[in-house]
Amino acid sequence: MATLARLAQAGYQLAAEPAGASAEAQKAMVASARKVAKIAAEHAAEVDEASRFPHEAFAALKRERLLGIMIPAVHGGEEASLATISEICAVLAQGCASTGMIYAMHQIKASSLVVHCHDDPWHGAFMARIAREQLLLASATTEGGGVGGDLRSSICGIVREGDDFTLDKDGCLISYGAQADAILITSRRTPEAPPSDQVMSVLTKEQYRLERSAAWNTMGMRGTCSDNFTFAGRAPAEQIIPVPFAEIAAQSMLPNAHLLWASVWYGIAAEAVARAEAFVRSEARKRPGSTPPGALRLAELLARLQQFKALVVAGLDRYERARDDADELSSMGFVVAMNSIKVVASQSVGDIVMQAFPICGIQGYRNDSPASLARLMRDALSAPIMINNDRILGNTANLLAVYKHDSSLSR
């Protein structure tokens, strides 16, 4: 091993060495995320109360250099695995669900650049900027005041003006739009193109103006600041991603979004279980010699959490095996699997937090106790409607006239 390390230091590329960051480096990233999660947790109540951006956590994420870790090494990033990024999403969400979700949304945008733009000069250089300057990426895919609308359909179109283009988009919901350093925005290829003939463009914050048309005032996930904006931008045409948005949506957004959202929701569920555990432990200490009544329900809850964890881990594993295989990535089976992960994970988080209530009792119901489940419950309820589960099940339903599932346990 020492010899291998010396060879590696000397710059030898070992054929067996997997690409990307080393296992030690990725462990260190997760350790850094735990430090950030502590900061996020300290401010979580205030972020929720004021419905404001978790800027302390994001200053810490930039300081710990965790925003560029998906970027390939050739573009100056750390090239962390999706499993590591998933773990970081879960860790952050345990401290503050809004922080975890913003981090997940940022990485989902990064994945579109990483997967589809590695050979493109402008976007390659932009990835290097993300890594170097720790830029925060946001997404503008909905339009006309919609929330969780149909991202595969646009009203606005790219207008070419010489080497530049302009783009005006009304009523788009942009999570942390006001805080982002760049926005990845969808539109029709031209104003005359059909609504589904879309492209995605990258505009940096000095290239657009945002006018807020509605503020984000919701039950939970209040820190994501998903305000509605009117977007007006102008940029050089080379900033339009060359591949059609249809490919981006199917190949990078679908798996990355569903797996990273599921990771955030797992983090919320894990935090609810941790609070129930702490409550049961303190009850056990009050009455030594007898098992607290909530312990049985907690045992049941641990089994449920394990099932949730297995869902996410198996999904990550499937994606890692499929990511270099275009046939598998574009297969119906893969689409059905990713859709199913979103639906089940989003239901699981609500169920698990709900099941923690009878364990924690009034202490869980209170807003001011260490066992409080109130914010977790409100945050969890966003999951089934963040791209509505009925829409996702409807997409799967459309395939069932021909689809047959694979009953193997090993694929």
Residues that bind other proteins (CB under 8 A): 196, 246, 326-328, 330-333, 398-399, 401-406
Task: Decide: helix, strand or coil at residue 197.
Answer: coil
User: Nearest approach, Cβ of 395 to other proteins (angstroms)?
Assistant: 8
* Shortest CB 333 distance to other proteins, Å: 5
Question: Which residues make beta-bridge pairs with 214?
Answer: 228
DSSP conformation letters of 33-85: HHHHHHHHHHHHHHHHHHT---HHHHHHHHHTT-SSTTS-GGGTS----HHHH
Closest CB to other proteins among residues 178, 400:
400
- Read off the DSSP letter of residue 249: I
Q: Are 272 and 352 in contact (CB under 8 A)?
A: yes
Rounded to a whole number of angstroms, the minimum distance from the CB of residue 327 to other proteins is 4
Distance CA 337, CA 201 (A): 28
Contact 329, 337 (CB under 8 A): no
What's the min distance (Å) between Cβ of 323 and other proteins? 15
Picking from 59, 185, 71, 78, the residue whose alpha carbon sits closest to that of residue 126 is 71
User: Min. distance of Cβ 332 from other proteins in angstroms?
Assistant: 4
Rounded to a whole number of angstroms, the minimum distance from the CB of residue 402 to other proteins is 4
List the structure tokens of 235.
């940029």
Q: What are the Cα distances from residue 380, in Å, to 20, 355, 374?
A: 33, 12, 10
Beta strands (DSSP E) in 176-278 are 182-188, 198-204, 208-214, 226-236
Residue 330 C-beta: closest distance to other proteins, Å: 4
Residue 398 beta carbon to other proteins: minimum distance, rounded to whole angstroms? 6
Q: Give the span between the Cα atoms of 360 and 353, in whole angstroms.
A: 11
Count of residues making up the chain = 411
Q: How far is the CB of 335 from other proteins (least distance, A)?
A: 8
Give least dist CB 396 to other proteins, A.
11
Exposure letters 353-377 (e unless 16+ CB within 10 A, then b):
bebbbebbeebbeeeebebbbbbbb
Backbone CA torsion sign across 104, 105, 106, 110: positive
Distance between CA atoms of residues 360 and 271, nearest Å: 13
Q: Which amino acid is at 387?
A: I
Distance CA 387, CA 384 (A): 7
Of 38 and 405, the one with the shorter C-beta distance to other proteins is 405
Closer residue to other proteins, CB minimum distance, 128 or 243: 243
Residue keyed to tokens 């860790």:
91
Closer CB to other proteins, residue 213 or residue 396? 396
How is residue 240 annotated by DSSP?
A: B
Torsion angle, alpha carbons of 296, 92, 27, 138, to 10: 140
